[in-house]
Amino acid sequence: MDAAGASSTPCSPTAHYVDEPVYLVRPLAPGETPIANGLPVFTVPHLNDDAALRDLGTDSRLEFTAPVDGPFLVRITDPQGPGGPDASYALVVREAAPDFKATLTGANPTVARGSGQGFGISVQRDDGFDGPVRVEFLHLPPGWSIAGPVVVEAGHDSVQGTLRATPDAVAPSDADWDAVTVIASAEVEGRPVVQAVNSIGRPRLAPEPPKLRVHLEPVGASTTNAVGLRILDIAPGGTATARLRIERRGFDGVVTFSVDNLPHGVIVENLGLNGITFLPEESERDISLAAVKWVSDLERPFHAVENQAGRQTSEPLLLRVRKTGPAGTATHPR
């Protein structure tokens, strides 16, 4: 380990006196030669891990892979110095058990006909599980839809979706909503894992039409997928254009928007200081999406959300990332 470290290196929990030297450090790979920069080189035979996510409260956690078979010593100490026969510690040593737990937030929404309301899925990842998690909604009542599957990307812990009602949707019964099943699935260490997710509850139809209806559409020619979602194509390193449009039905003020559920590496560019903002006299504008070069091929629904009239969501578009965009799509090299 040398002292040429990077700012991303975790800090030691040890307290230091005023004017005492402190070093940022970086670990060296086996056999790597330290850079001769005049700073000291330390051999550290132990590792401290204070559960940086703070998901264990004040407890610590250490993930350790033994380099060889043999006996190892676990030593527990307090970095601030206290100890002795009256100090009490509990130690659990176990094999890693990678797993996950998916939780739905935003249950029991009130949804207007011809509009939608957003919800979220969060994933708690345990013992190093880092893969994608797929969430499906089964047995939705007629006239109600969720574009899916909803996928929490590898390495991420949340995703957004939208529950929509058609313009002619009827109010389902409580029994209809109780029949809806939410399932999360993933591959964990080569084995399929399927688990139930808490329900979306018993959504209700709004008694009145929304004061704003939000529409998100591709610009130019587009196709649809098997379930009727309109497709917006983009290439890694390229851009694509979508049109955001609102129907004002009694709301005449400023409207601001967010665009939810874009994949990692795709952003709405050229937002300026005020983000996506419609002034009172405006009802539509084009927005530009940009994908960085390393985004992999994928298909992912995304939608727009307004912030002033009940957070109405648009119908989702299916963003399709392909290294070679189909002819006639709105993809442009950057």
- In the chain the domains, ranked by start, together with CATH numbers, are 1-93 (no CATH), 99-205 (2.60.40), 212-333 (2.60.40.10)
pLDDT value of residue 313: 97
Q: DSSP state, 11? A: P
* Reduced DSSP (H G I as helix, E B as strand, rest coil) percent helix, strand, coil of the chain, to 5: 0, 35, 60
pLDDT for 10 beyond 80: no
Q: Which of 106, 102, 130, 100 is nearest to 119 (CA)?
A: 106
pLDDT for 328 beyond 60: no
First and final C-alpha spacing in the chain? 41
Pick 253 or 51 by higher pLDDT.
253
Q: Which amino acid is at 334?
A: R
Per-residue pLDDT band for 53 (boundaries 50, 70, 90) equals low
Per-residue pLDDT band for 222 (boundaries 50, 70, 90) equals confident
β-bridge pairing 116-126 and 266-269: unpaired
**Greatest mean pLDDT range, 2-16, 53-67, 272-286:** 272-286
pLDDT for 325 beyond 70: no
Per-residue pLDDT band for 274 (boundaries 50, 70, 90) equals confident
Model-wide pTM > 0.95: no
Task: Tell me which H or E stretch contains 129.
Answer: none
pLDDT for 334 beyond 50: no
**Which alpha helices (H) appear in the chain, and where do they start and end?**
174-178
pLDDT value of residue 67: 85
CA dihedral for 20, 25, 27, 32, sign (positive or negative): negative
- Work out the average pLDDT over 178-188: 97
Per-residue pLDDT band for 149 (boundaries 50, 70, 90) equals confident
- Rounded Cα distance between 305 and 6, Å, is 39
Cα-Cα-Cα-Cα torsion 191, 196, 200, 202, nearest 10 degrees, comes to 150
